[in-house]
Structure 1
Amino acid sequence: MTPALQIGALRKAFGGLPATDNVSLEVMPGERRLIIGPNGAGKTTLFNLITGDLAPDAGTIRLFGEEVSRLRPHRRAHRGLARTYQIITLFPNDTLEHNIALSQLGLSRRRWNTFRALTDYADLYGEARRVLGRVGLEHLARRHISEVSYGEKRRVEIAMALAQNPRLLLLDEPLAGLSREERVGVTQLIAGITREVTVLLIEHDMDTALDLAERITVLHYGSVIVEGTRAEVVADPKTREVYLGDG
Protein backbone atom coordinates (compact mmCIF):
# COMPACT_ATOMS: atom_id res chain seq x y z
CA MET A 1 0.00 0.00 0.00
CA THR A 2 1.28 3.46 -0.91
CA PRO A 3 1.87 5.66 2.16
CA ALA A 4 -0.31 8.73 2.57
CA LEU A 5 2.83 10.62 3.58
CA GLN A 6 6.41 9.59 2.98
CA ILE A 7 9.29 11.81 4.10
CA GLY A 8 12.90 11.01 3.28
CA ALA A 9 16.02 12.58 4.83
CA LEU A 10 14.28 15.94 5.23
CA ARG A 11 16.46 18.83 6.36
CA LYS A 12 15.86 22.48 7.19
CA ALA A 13 18.22 24.85 9.00
CA PHE A 14 17.91 28.46 10.12
CA GLY A 15 21.20 30.33 10.35
CA GLY A 16 23.11 27.07 10.51
CA LEU A 17 20.92 25.68 13.31
CA PRO A 18 19.10 22.52 12.16
CA ALA A 19 15.36 22.66 12.82
CA THR A 20 14.66 19.46 10.89
CA ASP A 21 17.63 17.12 10.78
CA ASN A 22 17.47 14.15 8.41
CA VAL A 23 13.86 13.28 9.28
CA SER A 24 12.34 10.22 7.61
CA LEU A 25 8.91 8.76 8.32
CA GLU A 26 5.98 7.00 6.68
CA VAL A 27 2.31 7.44 7.55
CA MET A 28 -0.13 4.95 6.06
CA PRO A 29 -3.62 5.82 4.75
CA GLY A 30 -6.16 6.11 7.54
CA GLU A 31 -3.48 6.17 10.23
CA ARG A 32 -3.52 8.47 13.26
CA ARG A 33 0.07 9.57 13.89
CA LEU A 34 1.11 11.69 16.87
CA ILE A 35 4.23 13.88 16.73
CA ILE A 36 5.58 14.78 20.16
CA GLY A 37 8.69 16.39 21.57
CA PRO A 38 9.77 19.28 23.80
CA ASN A 39 9.51 22.91 22.73
CA GLY A 40 11.96 23.61 19.92
CA ALA A 41 12.03 19.99 18.75
CA GLY A 42 11.02 21.00 15.21
CA LYS A 43 7.42 19.78 15.18
CA THR A 44 5.77 22.84 13.64
CA THR A 45 8.72 23.30 11.27
CA LEU A 46 8.06 19.76 10.05
CA PHE A 47 4.40 20.64 9.42
CA ASN A 48 5.44 23.80 7.56
CA LEU A 49 7.72 21.74 5.33
CA ILE A 50 4.97 19.22 4.61
CA THR A 51 2.49 21.95 3.64
CA GLY A 52 5.01 23.98 1.63
CA ASP A 53 4.99 27.02 3.92
CA LEU A 54 8.74 26.38 4.15
CA ALA A 55 11.05 24.99 1.48
CA PRO A 56 13.38 22.17 2.57
CA ASP A 57 17.14 22.41 2.24
CA ALA A 58 17.26 18.73 1.28
CA GLY A 59 15.10 15.63 1.27
CA THR A 60 11.84 14.44 -0.25
CA ILE A 61 8.13 14.70 0.60
CA ARG A 62 5.62 12.40 -1.08
CA LEU A 63 1.84 12.68 -0.77
CA PHE A 64 0.13 9.45 -1.80
CA GLY A 65 3.18 8.53 -3.85
CA GLU A 66 3.68 11.89 -5.58
CA GLU A 67 6.82 13.93 -4.94
CA VAL A 68 5.60 17.37 -3.81
CA SER A 69 8.58 18.95 -2.05
CA ARG A 70 8.86 21.65 -4.73
CA LEU A 71 5.14 22.30 -5.10
CA ARG A 72 3.61 25.48 -3.71
CA PRO A 73 1.16 25.17 -0.79
CA HIS A 74 -2.00 25.61 -2.88
CA ARG A 75 -0.87 22.82 -5.21
CA ARG A 76 -0.49 20.50 -2.23
CA ALA A 77 -3.93 21.54 -0.97
CA HIS A 78 -5.40 20.52 -4.32
CA ARG A 79 -3.82 17.09 -3.78
CA GLY A 80 -5.75 16.57 -0.57
CA LEU A 81 -3.62 18.23 2.13
CA ALA A 82 -5.21 20.46 4.78
CA ARG A 83 -4.05 21.77 8.14
CA THR A 84 -4.86 23.80 11.23
CA TYR A 85 -2.43 26.13 12.97
CA GLN A 86 -1.06 26.38 16.49
CA ILE A 87 -2.21 30.01 16.59
CA ILE A 88 -5.84 30.48 15.56
CA THR A 89 -6.10 32.11 12.12
CA LEU A 90 -9.73 33.15 11.58
CA PHE A 91 -11.50 36.32 10.43
CA PRO A 92 -13.00 37.61 13.70
CA ASN A 93 -15.46 40.06 12.13
CA ASP A 94 -16.99 37.46 9.81
CA THR A 95 -19.47 34.73 10.66
CA LEU A 96 -18.58 31.11 11.25
CA GLU A 97 -20.25 30.05 8.00
CA HIS A 98 -18.45 32.81 6.07
CA ASN A 99 -15.06 31.58 7.33
CA ILE A 100 -15.92 28.03 6.25
CA ALA A 101 -17.18 29.19 2.85
CA LEU A 102 -13.92 31.07 2.30
CA SER A 103 -11.91 27.92 2.97
CA GLN A 104 -13.89 26.11 0.27
CA LEU A 105 -13.59 28.97 -2.20
CA GLY A 106 -9.80 28.76 -1.99
CA LEU A 107 -9.91 25.39 -3.77
CA SER A 108 -12.50 26.46 -6.34
CA ARG A 109 -12.00 28.10 -9.73
CA ARG A 110 -14.67 30.56 -8.66
CA ARG A 111 -12.08 32.29 -6.47
CA TRP A 112 -10.97 34.19 -9.57
CA ASN A 113 -14.42 35.74 -10.08
CA THR A 114 -13.94 39.07 -8.32
CA PHE A 115 -17.22 40.46 -9.65
CA ARG A 116 -19.45 38.14 -7.62
CA ALA A 117 -19.98 38.29 -3.87
CA LEU A 118 -19.18 35.21 -1.83
CA THR A 119 -22.71 35.30 -0.41
CA ASP A 120 -24.03 34.58 -3.92
CA TYR A 121 -22.69 31.03 -3.68
CA ALA A 122 -25.52 29.29 -1.85
CA ASP A 123 -23.88 25.89 -2.30
CA LEU A 124 -20.77 27.00 -0.39
CA TYR A 125 -22.87 28.25 2.51
CA GLY A 126 -24.96 25.09 2.51
CA GLU A 127 -21.80 22.99 2.71
CA ALA A 128 -20.41 25.32 5.38
CA ARG A 129 -23.44 24.71 7.59
CA ARG A 130 -23.19 20.97 6.98
CA VAL A 131 -19.54 20.94 8.07
CA LEU A 132 -20.33 23.12 11.08
CA GLY A 133 -22.91 20.49 11.99
CA ARG A 134 -20.15 17.86 11.97
CA VAL A 135 -18.28 19.82 14.64
CA GLY A 136 -21.41 20.69 16.64
CA LEU A 137 -21.61 24.36 15.69
CA GLU A 138 -24.37 24.61 13.08
CA HIS A 139 -26.53 26.54 15.55
CA LEU A 140 -23.82 29.25 15.65
CA ALA A 141 -23.35 29.47 11.87
CA ARG A 142 -24.36 33.14 11.69
CA ARG A 143 -22.47 34.26 14.78
CA HIS A 144 -19.31 36.28 14.31
CA ILE A 145 -16.04 34.60 15.24
CA SER A 146 -15.45 37.32 17.83
CA GLU A 147 -18.65 36.26 19.62
CA VAL A 148 -17.80 32.60 20.25
CA SER A 149 -15.56 30.93 22.82
CA TYR A 150 -11.95 29.92 22.30
CA GLY A 151 -12.90 26.26 22.21
CA GLU A 152 -15.53 26.95 19.56
CA LYS A 153 -12.91 28.79 17.49
CA ARG A 154 -10.75 25.67 17.62
CA ARG A 155 -13.69 23.68 16.29
CA VAL A 156 -14.18 26.21 13.48
CA GLU A 157 -10.55 25.77 12.43
CA ILE A 158 -11.00 22.01 12.24
CA ALA A 159 -14.24 22.55 10.31
CA MET A 160 -12.41 24.79 7.82
CA ALA A 161 -9.89 22.04 7.20
CA LEU A 162 -12.56 19.33 6.89
CA ALA A 163 -14.53 21.50 4.45
CA GLN A 164 -11.66 21.06 1.98
CA ASN A 165 -12.32 17.29 1.91
CA PRO A 166 -8.72 16.42 2.76
CA ARG A 167 -7.08 13.04 2.41
CA LEU A 168 -4.30 14.08 4.81
CA LEU A 169 -5.10 16.39 7.73
CA LEU A 170 -2.42 18.04 9.87
CA LEU A 171 -3.56 19.27 13.29
CA ASP A 172 -1.10 21.56 15.09
CA GLU A 173 -1.88 21.50 18.83
CA PRO A 174 -5.69 21.46 18.47
CA LEU A 175 -6.13 21.14 22.25
CA ALA A 176 -3.89 24.07 23.18
CA GLY A 177 -5.50 26.56 25.54
CA LEU A 178 -8.71 24.57 26.00
CA SER A 179 -10.45 23.86 29.28
CA ARG A 180 -10.80 20.24 30.40
CA GLU A 181 -14.39 20.13 29.14
CA GLU A 182 -13.43 21.67 25.80
CA ARG A 183 -10.56 19.19 25.40
CA VAL A 184 -12.99 16.30 25.81
CA GLY A 185 -15.25 17.70 23.09
CA VAL A 186 -12.45 18.38 20.59
CA THR A 187 -10.88 14.99 21.31
CA GLN A 188 -14.19 13.29 20.51
CA LEU A 189 -14.40 15.36 17.32
CA ILE A 190 -10.93 14.26 16.18
CA ALA A 191 -11.62 10.64 17.09
CA GLY A 192 -14.77 10.77 14.96
CA ILE A 193 -13.02 11.85 11.74
CA THR A 194 -13.56 9.21 9.07
CA ARG A 195 -10.72 6.79 8.36
CA GLU A 196 -10.75 8.01 4.77
CA VAL A 197 -8.76 10.92 6.21
CA THR A 198 -5.22 10.30 7.48
CA VAL A 199 -4.47 12.43 10.55
CA LEU A 200 -1.07 13.73 11.64
CA LEU A 201 -1.25 15.43 15.03
CA ILE A 202 1.07 17.60 17.13
CA GLU A 203 -0.01 17.83 20.76
CA HIS A 204 1.47 18.55 24.19
CA ASP A 205 -1.45 17.09 26.16
CA MET A 206 0.09 13.63 26.37
CA ASP A 207 -2.66 11.96 28.39
CA THR A 208 -5.27 12.85 25.78
CA ALA A 209 -3.20 12.71 22.60
CA LEU A 210 -1.76 9.25 23.24
CA ASP A 211 -5.29 7.85 23.13
CA LEU A 212 -5.82 9.30 19.63
CA ALA A 213 -2.86 7.74 17.83
CA GLU A 214 -1.83 4.25 16.73
CA ARG A 215 1.79 5.28 16.24
CA ILE A 216 3.90 8.01 17.77
CA THR A 217 7.02 9.80 16.53
CA VAL A 218 9.25 11.61 19.03
CA LEU A 219 11.34 14.55 17.79
CA HIS A 220 14.29 16.08 19.65
CA TYR A 221 16.49 18.84 18.24
CA GLY A 222 14.94 18.23 14.83
CA SER A 223 15.67 14.49 14.71
CA VAL A 224 13.48 11.42 15.13
CA ILE A 225 14.73 9.65 18.26
CA VAL A 226 11.87 7.18 18.91
CA GLU A 227 9.01 5.81 16.84
CA GLY A 228 6.49 3.10 17.59
CA THR A 229 3.26 2.24 19.36
CA ARG A 230 2.15 4.00 22.53
CA ALA A 231 3.55 1.23 24.72
CA GLU A 232 6.87 1.19 22.89
CA VAL A 233 7.33 4.97 22.98
CA VAL A 234 6.31 5.43 26.61
CA ALA A 235 8.65 2.60 27.68
CA ASP A 236 11.64 3.89 25.74
CA PRO A 237 14.26 5.56 28.02
CA LYS A 238 14.94 8.26 25.40
CA THR A 239 11.31 9.40 25.57
CA ARG A 240 11.38 9.64 29.35
CA GLU A 241 14.67 11.51 29.24
CA VAL A 242 13.81 14.22 26.70
CA TYR A 243 10.03 14.53 27.02
CA LEU A 244 8.75 13.10 30.27
CA GLY A 245 11.53 14.61 32.37
CA ASP A 246 13.38 11.54 33.64
CA GLY A 247 17.15 11.84 33.75
Structure 2
Amino acid sequence: MTASLALEIRNLNKAFGGLPVTQDVSMSIRPGERHLIIGPNGAGKTTLFNQVTGDLKPNSGQIKLFGTDVTRFAPHRRAHAGLSRTYQIITLFAHDTLEHNVSLALLGLRRTRWQMWRPLSRYDELAAEARRTLDRVGLLHLANHPVSDIAYGEKRRVELAMALVQQPKVLLLDEPLAGLSNTERSTVKALIASIPRETAVVMIEHDMDTALDLAETVTLLNYGRVIVDGPRDAVIADERTREVYLGP
Protein backbone atom coordinates (compact mmCIF):
# COMPACT_ATOMS: atom_id res chain seq x y z
CA MET A 1 0.00 0.00 0.00
CA THR A 2 2.73 2.46 1.04
CA ALA A 3 4.74 2.07 -2.18
CA SER A 4 1.70 3.02 -4.25
CA LEU A 5 1.38 6.39 -2.49
CA ALA A 6 3.06 9.56 -3.72
CA LEU A 7 3.18 11.08 -0.24
CA GLU A 8 2.46 9.41 3.08
CA ILE A 9 2.44 11.28 6.39
CA ARG A 10 2.04 9.30 9.59
CA ASN A 11 1.50 10.65 13.11
CA LEU A 12 3.46 13.83 12.53
CA ASN A 13 4.03 16.03 15.57
CA LYS A 14 5.76 19.39 15.91
CA ALA A 15 5.89 21.72 18.90
CA PHE A 16 7.31 25.22 19.39
CA GLY A 17 8.13 26.36 22.90
CA GLY A 18 6.25 23.39 24.27
CA LEU A 19 3.08 24.27 22.34
CA PRO A 20 1.89 21.71 19.76
CA VAL A 21 1.55 22.99 16.19
CA THR A 22 0.92 19.69 14.41
CA GLN A 23 -0.57 16.86 16.41
CA ASP A 24 -0.63 13.27 15.12
CA VAL A 25 -1.22 14.43 11.54
CA SER A 26 -1.67 11.56 9.07
CA MET A 27 -2.41 11.95 5.38
CA SER A 28 -2.05 9.87 2.21
CA ILE A 29 -1.72 11.31 -1.30
CA ARG A 30 -1.93 9.08 -4.39
CA PRO A 31 0.15 9.71 -7.53
CA GLY A 32 -1.48 12.43 -9.61
CA GLU A 33 -3.99 13.34 -6.90
CA ARG A 34 -5.26 16.91 -6.44
CA HIS A 35 -5.48 17.49 -2.71
CA LEU A 36 -6.56 20.62 -0.82
CA ILE A 37 -5.61 21.45 2.77
CA ILE A 38 -7.90 23.93 4.49
CA GLY A 39 -8.27 25.35 7.97
CA PRO A 40 -8.33 28.61 9.93
CA ASN A 41 -5.24 30.79 10.26
CA GLY A 42 -2.85 29.14 12.70
CA ALA A 43 -4.19 25.65 12.03
CA GLY A 44 -0.68 24.36 11.20
CA LYS A 45 -0.99 24.13 7.42
CA THR A 46 2.27 25.84 6.44
CA THR A 47 4.07 24.20 9.36
CA LEU A 48 2.98 20.86 7.93
CA PHE A 49 4.38 21.81 4.50
CA ASN A 50 7.65 22.88 6.13
CA GLN A 51 7.98 19.48 7.76
CA VAL A 52 7.23 17.67 4.49
CA THR A 53 9.92 19.66 2.65
CA GLY A 54 12.49 19.35 5.46
CA ASP A 55 12.55 23.05 6.37
CA LEU A 56 11.38 21.95 9.83
CA LYS A 57 12.14 18.68 11.58
CA PRO A 58 9.17 16.97 13.24
CA ASN A 59 9.43 15.94 16.86
CA SER A 60 8.02 12.57 15.88
CA GLY A 61 6.27 10.84 13.02
CA GLN A 62 7.20 9.71 9.52
CA ILE A 63 7.16 11.14 5.98
CA LYS A 64 7.46 8.91 2.91
CA LEU A 65 7.78 9.80 -0.77
CA PHE A 66 6.84 6.92 -3.04
CA GLY A 67 7.56 4.46 -0.25
CA THR A 68 10.95 5.93 0.72
CA ASP A 69 11.25 7.26 4.26
CA VAL A 70 12.51 10.86 3.85
CA THR A 71 11.81 12.02 7.41
CA ARG A 72 15.51 12.67 8.07
CA PHE A 73 16.42 13.76 4.54
CA ALA A 74 17.73 17.29 3.97
CA PRO A 75 15.53 19.48 1.73
CA HIS A 76 17.76 19.02 -1.35
CA ARG A 77 17.54 15.23 -1.04
CA ARG A 78 13.74 15.47 -0.96
CA ALA A 79 13.89 17.63 -4.09
CA HIS A 80 15.97 14.93 -5.78
CA ALA A 81 13.29 12.42 -4.71
CA GLY A 82 10.68 14.43 -6.63
CA LEU A 83 9.32 17.02 -4.16
CA SER A 84 8.95 20.71 -4.99
CA ARG A 85 7.00 23.63 -3.51
CA THR A 86 6.00 27.27 -3.64
CA TYR A 87 5.82 29.55 -0.61
CA GLN A 88 3.10 31.68 0.94
CA ILE A 89 5.53 34.61 0.94
CA ILE A 90 7.23 35.00 -2.43
CA THR A 91 10.96 34.21 -2.27
CA LEU A 92 12.64 35.46 -5.45
CA PHE A 93 15.90 37.25 -6.25
CA ALA A 94 14.38 40.62 -7.11
CA HIS A 95 17.36 42.09 -8.98
CA ASP A 96 18.01 39.00 -11.12
CA THR A 97 16.13 38.19 -14.29
CA LEU A 98 13.22 35.77 -14.48
CA GLU A 99 15.41 33.38 -16.48
CA HIS A 100 18.14 33.54 -13.83
CA ASN A 101 15.70 32.76 -11.00
CA VAL A 102 14.27 29.73 -12.82
CA SER A 103 17.74 28.52 -13.83
CA LEU A 104 18.87 28.64 -10.20
CA ALA A 105 15.92 26.46 -9.18
CA LEU A 106 17.01 23.89 -11.74
CA LEU A 107 20.74 24.03 -11.07
CA GLY A 108 20.64 22.13 -7.79
CA LEU A 109 18.97 19.13 -9.43
CA ARG A 110 21.53 18.81 -12.22
CA ARG A 111 24.93 17.21 -12.06
CA THR A 112 26.38 20.11 -14.05
CA ARG A 113 29.52 21.46 -12.42
CA TRP A 114 28.85 25.11 -11.63
CA GLN A 115 31.63 27.68 -11.84
CA MET A 116 30.56 30.77 -9.92
CA TRP A 117 32.45 33.15 -12.24
CA ARG A 118 30.56 31.81 -15.25
CA PRO A 119 27.12 33.41 -15.86
CA LEU A 120 24.19 31.01 -15.66
CA SER A 121 23.16 32.18 -19.12
CA ARG A 122 26.28 30.40 -20.44
CA TYR A 123 24.85 27.07 -19.33
CA ASP A 124 22.84 26.52 -22.48
CA GLU A 125 20.83 23.53 -21.24
CA LEU A 126 19.74 25.31 -18.06
CA ALA A 127 18.83 28.50 -19.91
CA ALA A 128 16.84 26.62 -22.56
CA GLU A 129 14.84 24.69 -19.97
CA ALA A 130 14.24 27.83 -17.92
CA ARG A 131 12.89 29.62 -20.99
CA ARG A 132 10.67 26.66 -21.92
CA THR A 133 9.16 26.72 -18.45
CA LEU A 134 8.68 30.49 -18.52
CA ASP A 135 6.88 30.03 -21.82
CA ARG A 136 4.68 27.42 -20.13
CA VAL A 137 3.53 29.99 -17.55
CA GLY A 138 3.16 32.76 -20.14
CA LEU A 139 6.22 34.79 -19.17
CA LEU A 140 8.78 34.07 -21.88
CA HIS A 141 8.51 37.65 -23.16
CA LEU A 142 9.77 38.84 -19.77
CA ALA A 143 12.60 36.30 -19.42
CA ASN A 144 15.37 38.93 -19.50
CA HIS A 145 13.62 41.41 -17.20
CA PRO A 146 14.56 41.70 -13.52
CA VAL A 147 11.94 40.35 -11.12
CA SER A 148 11.69 43.81 -9.53
CA ASP A 149 10.18 45.14 -12.78
CA ILE A 150 7.22 42.76 -12.99
CA ALA A 151 3.79 42.77 -11.34
CA TYR A 152 2.90 40.78 -8.23
CA GLY A 153 0.77 38.30 -10.15
CA GLU A 154 3.64 37.67 -12.56
CA LYS A 155 5.95 37.01 -9.61
CA ARG A 156 3.53 34.30 -8.48
CA ARG A 157 3.89 32.72 -11.89
CA VAL A 158 7.69 32.93 -11.73
CA GLU A 159 7.60 31.05 -8.44
CA LEU A 160 5.35 28.42 -10.00
CA ALA A 161 7.81 28.15 -12.90
CA MET A 162 10.65 27.60 -10.44
CA ALA A 163 8.75 24.69 -8.92
CA LEU A 164 7.65 23.22 -12.26
CA VAL A 165 11.09 23.36 -13.88
CA GLN A 166 12.21 20.73 -11.36
CA GLN A 167 9.68 18.31 -12.89
CA PRO A 168 8.32 17.28 -9.49
CA LYS A 169 6.34 14.15 -8.75
CA VAL A 170 4.77 15.88 -5.74
CA LEU A 171 4.15 19.64 -5.85
CA LEU A 172 3.17 21.61 -2.74
CA LEU A 173 1.48 24.97 -3.39
CA ASP A 174 1.17 27.29 -0.39
CA GLU A 175 -1.62 29.80 -1.12
CA PRO A 176 -0.74 30.25 -4.82
CA LEU A 177 -3.72 32.58 -5.35
CA ALA A 178 -3.07 34.90 -2.40
CA GLY A 179 -3.15 38.60 -3.28
CA LEU A 180 -4.13 38.08 -6.92
CA SER A 181 -6.78 39.94 -8.87
CA ASN A 182 -9.68 37.98 -10.36
CA THR A 183 -7.96 37.93 -13.76
CA GLU A 184 -4.67 36.78 -12.25
CA ARG A 185 -6.46 34.09 -10.26
CA SER A 186 -8.04 32.73 -13.42
CA THR A 187 -4.62 32.61 -15.08
CA VAL A 188 -2.91 30.80 -12.19
CA LYS A 189 -5.87 28.45 -11.75
CA ALA A 190 -5.59 27.45 -15.41
CA LEU A 191 -1.86 26.85 -15.00
CA ILE A 192 -2.44 24.60 -11.98
CA ALA A 193 -5.18 22.73 -13.82
CA SER A 194 -2.78 22.12 -16.72
CA ILE A 195 -0.14 20.37 -14.59
CA PRO A 196 0.22 16.81 -15.95
CA ARG A 197 -1.16 13.92 -13.96
CA GLU A 198 2.37 12.59 -13.46
CA THR A 199 2.49 15.18 -10.64
CA ALA A 200 0.46 15.03 -7.45
CA VAL A 201 -0.58 18.53 -6.35
CA VAL A 202 -1.18 19.39 -2.68
CA MET A 203 -2.46 22.91 -2.16
CA ILE A 204 -3.15 25.21 0.78
CA GLU A 205 -5.64 27.85 -0.28
CA HIS A 206 -8.28 30.15 1.25
CA ASP A 207 -10.01 30.97 -2.03
CA MET A 208 -12.46 28.12 -1.63
CA ASP A 209 -14.46 28.62 -4.82
CA THR A 210 -11.34 28.34 -6.95
CA ALA A 211 -9.55 25.71 -4.88
CA LEU A 212 -12.51 23.36 -4.73
CA ASP A 213 -12.74 23.39 -8.52
CA LEU A 214 -9.23 21.91 -8.58
CA ALA A 215 -9.42 19.51 -5.62
CA GLU A 216 -10.47 15.87 -5.56
CA THR A 217 -9.74 15.27 -1.89
CA VAL A 218 -9.62 17.63 1.09
CA THR A 219 -8.08 17.67 4.57
CA LEU A 220 -9.36 20.05 7.24
CA LEU A 221 -6.83 21.02 9.91
CA ASN A 222 -7.58 22.87 13.13
CA TYR A 223 -5.16 23.46 16.01
CA GLY A 224 -2.71 21.16 14.26
CA ARG A 225 -5.07 18.19 14.09
CA VAL A 226 -6.83 16.52 11.19
CA ILE A 227 -10.55 17.12 11.75
CA VAL A 228 -11.93 15.71 8.48
CA ASP A 229 -10.17 14.01 5.58
CA GLY A 230 -11.56 12.43 2.43
CA PRO A 231 -13.30 13.07 -0.90
CA ARG A 232 -14.01 16.74 -1.57
CA ASP A 233 -17.82 16.62 -1.49
CA ALA A 234 -17.93 14.53 1.68
CA VAL A 235 -15.55 16.85 3.53
CA ILE A 236 -17.39 20.00 2.47
CA ALA A 237 -20.74 18.48 3.50
CA ASP A 238 -19.42 17.39 6.90
CA GLU A 239 -20.89 19.51 9.70
CA ARG A 240 -17.47 19.68 11.37
CA THR A 241 -16.14 21.52 8.32
CA ARG A 242 -18.93 24.07 8.53
CA GLU A 243 -18.43 24.45 12.27
CA VAL A 244 -14.66 24.88 12.15
CA TYR A 245 -14.09 26.66 8.84
CA LEU A 246 -16.92 27.39 6.45
CA GLY A 247 -19.54 28.67 8.88
CA PRO A 248 -23.30 28.06 8.75
**Short-chain TM bin:** over 0.9
SS at match of 2:214: coil
User: Residues 172-206 of structure 1, C-alpha deviation per residue, up to 9 Å, x if partnerless?
Assistant: 00000000110011000000000001100000000
Q: Does 1:229 align with 2:240?
A: no
Instruction: Quote the RMSD (CA, aligned, Å).
Output: 1.1
* 1:6 match: 8
In structure 2, give the amino acid aligned to 1:163: V
Q: Is the 8 A contact 2:131 2:143 kept in 1?
A: yes
Distance 1:176 1:138 in 2: 23
Measured after TM superposition, the shift of residue 112 of structure 1 is 4.6
Distance 2:6 2:107 in 1: 25
* 1:92 match: 94
* 1:161 match: 163
* 1:147 match: 149
Pair 1:19–1:111, CA change in 2 (3 A): farther
Matching residue within 180, 183, 186 for 1:181: 183
Distance 2:89 2:143 in 1: 22
SS at match of 1:160: helix
Q: Is the 8 A contact 2:24 2:225 kept in 1?
A: yes
Q: Does 1:171 align with 2:173?
A: yes
Measured after TM superposition, the shift of residue 156 of structure 1 is 0.5
So what's the TM-score if we normalise by structure 2? Answer: 0.97
* 1:201 match: 203
Identity %: 65
Q: Is the 8 A contact 1:105 1:111 kept in 2?
A: no
* 2:193 match: 191
Segment of structure 1 superposing worse, 102-111 or 10-19: 102-111
In structure 2, give the amino acid aligned to 1:19: V
Matching residue within 61, 64, 69 for 1:62: 64
* 1:41 match: 43
Query: For structure 2, which runs of at least 5 residues remain unmatched after alignment?
Result: none
* 1:218 match: 220
User: Residues 6-43 of structure 1, C-alpha deviation per residue, up to 9 Å, x if partnerless?
Assistant: 01101001111111100011000000000000000000
Distance 1:173 1:237 in 2: 24
Matching residue within 107, 110, 128 for 2:109: 107
Measured after TM superposition, the shift of residue 144 of structure 1 is 1.1
* 2:246 match: 244
SS at match of 1:99: helix
SS at match of 1:218: strand
Distance 1:20 1:125 in 2: 40
Q: Is the 8 A contact 1:131 1:163 kept in 2?
A: yes
Measured after TM superposition, the shift of residue 239 of structure 1 is 0.5
Pair 1:111–1:244, CA change in 2 (3 A): farther
Measured after TM superposition, the shift of residue 111 of structure 1 is 5.4
Matching residue within 101, 123, 127 for 1:121: 123
Q: Is the 8 A contact 2:120 2:127 kept in 1?
A: no
Q: Is the 8 A contact 1:81 1:167 kept in 2?
A: yes
In structure 1, give the amino acid aligned to 2:119: A
Segment of structure 1 superposing worse, 172-181 or 119-128: 119-128
In structure 2, give the amino acid aligned to 1:136: G
In structure 2, give the amino acid aligned to 1:29: P
So what's the TM-score if we normalise by structure 1? Answer: 0.97
Distance 1:157 1:12 in 2: 27
Distance 1:157 1:237 in 2: 36
In structure 1, give the amino acid aligned to 2:136: R
